[in-house]
Amino acid sequence: MKNKALKRLIYGLPVLLASLPFFSSAKNLTPRRDTVTAAYKLKTVVIDAGHGTRPNGTHSGASGSYSQESNVTLAIALKLQKAIEKDIPDLNVVMTRKTEADVGLKARSEIANSSKGDLFISIHCNSLADRRVREVVGHKHGRAVYRTVSVPDRSGKGVLFLVYGFHRSEEEQEALRENLFEEKDNSDQQDILDNPAAVIAINAFKAKYRKQSIHFANMLNSEFTEGDGRRSDGVKEQGVLVLCHSAMPAVLIETGFINNREEEDYLNSEAGQNEIVASIVRALSSYKAELEQVSQ
Ligand SMILES: [Zn+2]
C-alpha cells in the first residue's frame, strides 16, 4: 500500500465512509477479500536479520554452545534474499543488515519504512532462560542447607511466529503517523490527524496490518509444520518493538532454539537453513499470489 493511497483515502471522505461497514465488520470476521486494497501488488519485502555484533565485539542476541544467534540469523537472511531473487524475481528485497554489524531497532524500522516495504520479516532464534533450582549443599544442626543455582534449560524445541500485539498502541500510532505521510514537514499533517475521519482511516490500516500479519504468520506456520515437520508454538501476539515501528504487516520468526544442541546443529547446518528458507519462500509466494489475486 502506497502512502499516497492513504492520503487519497483520508481526503476522499466519501470513499472512506463507503468503506466503513467493511471496517466495522472486519473485527469479527477474517474476510479474504479486502475492498481497500484495490490493485494491490506485493512489491517489496524487508528481511531483517535479528541482532548483530556490537562495536566492542560482543554479540546481541542468544548464544548456543558454539554459535551465536546474530550469525545464524544473518546466514538465513542472506540465503533468503538469494532464494527470493531467484524464485520470486518480481519481488524487491531490502535487507536491514547484510554484515555482522548490529543495527539499532529504530534504524531497522527506518530502513523498512523508507523503502516502502509491503511486508517485514524478522529472523530470530529462540532460547530458553536458565531454570532456577534449589539444591542441598550440606546440613547444619541436622537441617538441610540449600542454595539456589541456575541450570541451563535446553528443552526448547521448534518454531514460533510473533505478530505485533496492540500493547503499545501509542507508539504504533506514532510510527504510522511518521511513515504513512511522505512529506515529513507537511504542515497539513497535524490537521489531518485532528480529523476524526483520518483517525478512523489510520485505525483501519492498523487493523489491516494486524490481520495480514496474522494471516501470513499462519501461512508460515503451515509450511514449517506440515512441510518440514517442525514442532511449533504457533502464532502469538506480543509487543515486539522492531515490529511495532514498521508501518506494514510484520512477522518475527523464531526459527528454532539455539540453546538446544540438536536445534543448534539444525540451525547451523546448510540443510536446516535451506529448509527454513524454502518454507519462508513457499509461504511468501502463496501470500503474494493470494493478495494480488484478491485485488484484481
Ligand atoms: Zn532474537
Residues, the chain, total?
A: 296
Chain mean pLDDT for the chain: 81
How far, in Å, from the CA of 126 to the mean position of ligand 1? 6
Ligand 1 centroid to residue 125 C-alpha, Å: 5
**How far, in Å, from the CA of 58 to the mean position of ligand 1?**
15
Residue 36 has pLDDT above 80, yes or no: no
User: How many angstroms separate the alpha carbon of residue 61 from the centre of ligand 1?
Assistant: 5
Quote the ligand 1 centre to 39 CA distance (angstroms): 35
> How far is ligand 1, taken at its centre, from the CA of residue 159, in Å?
13
pTM value is 0.76
The grid cell for 70 is: 546474530
| pLDDT tens for each residue of 166-195 | 544 565 666 666 555 544 444 445 555 566
Q: What is the pLDDT of residue 76?
A: 98
* Alpha-carbon gap, residue 152 to 39, rounded angstroms: 51
Report the C-alpha gap between 94 and 201 in whole angstroms.
27
Q: Distance from the CA of 73 to the center of ligand 1, in angstroms?
A: 9
Q: How confident is the model at residue 53 (pLDDT cuts 50, 70, 90)?
A: very high
Cα-to-centroid distance, 252 and ligand 1 (Å):
9
CA of 185 to the centre of ligand 1 (A): 35
63 CA distance to ligand 1 middle (Å)? 10
**In the chain, what are the domains?**
44-294 (3.40.630.40)
Residue 58: Cβ within 10 Å count: 10
What string of H, E and C letters represents the secondary structure of 97-163?
CCCCECCCHHHHHHHHHHCCCCEEEEEEEECCCCEEEEEEEEEECCEEEEEEEEECCCCCCCEEEEE
What is the amino acid identity at position 293?
Q
* pLDDT over 90 at 89, yes or no: yes
CB atoms closer than 10 angstroms to residue 252: 23
Crossing angle for the helix pair 261-268 and 69-87, to the nearest 10 degrees: 40
Q: 107 C-alpha vs ligand 1 centroid, how far in Å?
A: 16
Distance of alpha carbon 205 from alpha carbon 5, whole angstroms? 11
How confident is the model over 54-88, as pLDDT tens digits?
Answer: 999 998 899 999 999 999 999 999 999 999 999 99
Q: How many CB atoms lie within 10 A of CB 119?
A: 25
Residue 172 phi/psi, 5-degree rounding, is -70, -40
